[in-house]
Amino acid sequence: MAKAPKLNSQPQVVTANHLLSGDVVYLTKAASWSRRIADAAVVANVEAGAALLAEAETQAKKNIVIAPYLIPVDASVTPPKPIQYREVLRAEGPSTEKARPAA
C-alpha cells in the first residue's frame, strides 16, 4: 500500500473541538473560534501555521478548545476545502444527523 503524500507544503488552517459544546471549530484571523471553515485563517504551509497553532494551544491550556492541530486545505476555492477525507467530514458536519429519516 502506498503512503499518503506529505501535505505540509499545502495551505493550512487550525482546527480543534470546542470544549463545552464539542463542536468542530476553526481558528480565525482574530484568534477567535468559528464553526464555519469559511471564517478560518488560512496560512501558506505548516511553517507559517506555527504562530496560529501556538495561539490555539494557548487557548487549549485555558480550556476553550481541545486538541488543536493544522489541516491542509485547498485554498483556491471559497470556502477553503479540507484535502483529507476525515477533515471533509468534520467540516461538513455530523454525518449521523444527515442520515436520520424525517420524523
DSSP H or E run through 18:
strand 12-18
Phi, psi of 95 (to 5 degrees): -70, -20
Residue 13 and residue 73: Cα distance in Å, rounded?
7
- CA dihedral over 47, 51, 52, 54, signed as positive or negative: positive
Q: What does pTM read for this prediction?
A: 0.84
Q: Assess contact for 74 and 65: CB atoms under 8 A.
A: no
Structure confidence by residue, pLDDT tens digits, 3-44: 555 778 899 999 999 999 999 999 999 999 999 999 999 999
List the domain boundaries for the chain. 12-83
Number of H helices, E strands in the chain: 3, 5
